[in-house]
Amino acid sequence: MKYNFDEIIPRRGSNSYKWDSAAKDNVLPMWVADMDFRTALPVIDALQKRVAHGIFGYTKVPESYFDSIIGWFDRRHNFAVEREWILFTTGVVPALSAVIKALTEPGDKVIVQTPVYNCFFSSIRNNGCEIVSNELVYKNGTYSIDFDDLEQKASDPAAKLLLLCSPHNPAGRVWNKEELEKIGEICLRNHVIVVSDEIHCDLVYPGHTHIPFASVSREFLYNSVTCTASSKTFNLAGLQCANILSADPAIKAKIDKALNINEVCEINPFAVEALIAAYNEGEEWLEELKVYLYDNYQYLAEFFKKYLPHLPILPLEATYLVWVDCTALKQTSKEIAENLLDKENLLINEGTLYGDAGEGFIRINIATQRANLIKGLEKIRDLYG
């Protein structure tokens, strides 16, 4: 392998939200979703070249930025994106907020499939809308969609949007074509627009394929908005850059207006250079990263099987976020997280952060060096093994 993902890179003291948020210096953070690896060398080289220029004025986004996005989704996801569909903004959460602002009125209902990424809730509430939960069905150690419930929720005339997390965070599911077709057909019948958060689309593991929702059919393309970013893929969240794909000109115009109202319609020069380099030259790094992450997952799975068999982990089809069923402990998610932090100096995410359906679960970020992963797992074993 060209890249050494085992190399420990000190992050504490670098103003890292992940590493510098804990009150104590000896806390091992396996919570917030960023990685402890340096990004791809072509990205670093591009940023160093931009820094050397020394002038950081207002940025005009070049056509090469859009070309890199189009090329990436064509090569990696068999999705023919057109230049006219693309809007850029400072992150997927601002993108979601702008889309909700553009396509709803205060009091409208927005459907989410819980447990789900916590910022979905704040983006809905901040726009004065009502959260409606189409709770995922947890059975036989995995999650599936309750389509009858989704049909019922979508049939409410007040329901305007479905926020689709694809791949799903925190459940780690990659929705297959049949599932996406059922979602799309229900939403078409009930005039509900699908807003697909596909930020984890590049981190999919063997045996699974990410299918962009908008690529399934022309009808789905025009009844959806897709939010994407290179941030999870290449560990670039701090550069603040995301893209919104909308094929419907009227919908795109509304979103463009909302981005300007929210004043998140510009991106910085480093974000531009990083995305172009990542999408044009970063595939070798990504392929090596995925192997390392999946090896981390397999190590974790074997560790839990041996030392913590009473705590089932869900199959990880995508992302680097492992969802763990801790209901056998008879403790709340908050109690488990607090105990791990207070007694073992391990910081993980409590399941209820992702809605009431997450009670009894925890989320572990495995995008770290193997040595850190082992330390974290041993802390869980020492407390709950």
Measured distance CA(168)–CA(200) in Å, rounded:
8
Q: What is the pLDDT of residue 347?
A: 98
Across the chain, mean pLDDT equals: 98
Give the amino acid at 203.
L
Per-residue pLDDT tens digits for 125-143: 999 999 999 999 999 999 9
For residue range 211-246, list pLDDT tens digits in order.
999 999 999 999 999 999 999 999 999 999 999 999
How far, in Å, CA of 157 to CA of 96, rounded? 21
| 1: pLDDT strictly greater than 90 | no
C-beta of residue 199 within 8 angstroms of C-beta of residue 231? yes
Residue 323 has pLDDT above 80, yes or no: yes
The pLDDT confidence band at residue 354, using thresholds 50, 70 and 90, is very high
Indicate the pLDDT class of residue 164, thresholds 50, 70 and 90: very high
The pLDDT value recorded for residue 133 is 98
Is-contact 278 42, C-beta < 8 A?
yes
**pTM listed for this prediction:** 0.97
For residue 360, what pLDDT band results from cuts at 50, 70 and 90? very high
CA distances from 109 to 124, 127, 129, 373 (A): 9, 11, 6, 40
Q: For the segment 36-79, what is each residue's pLDDT rounded down to a tens digit? A: 999 999 999 999 999 999 999 999 999 999 999 999 999 999 99
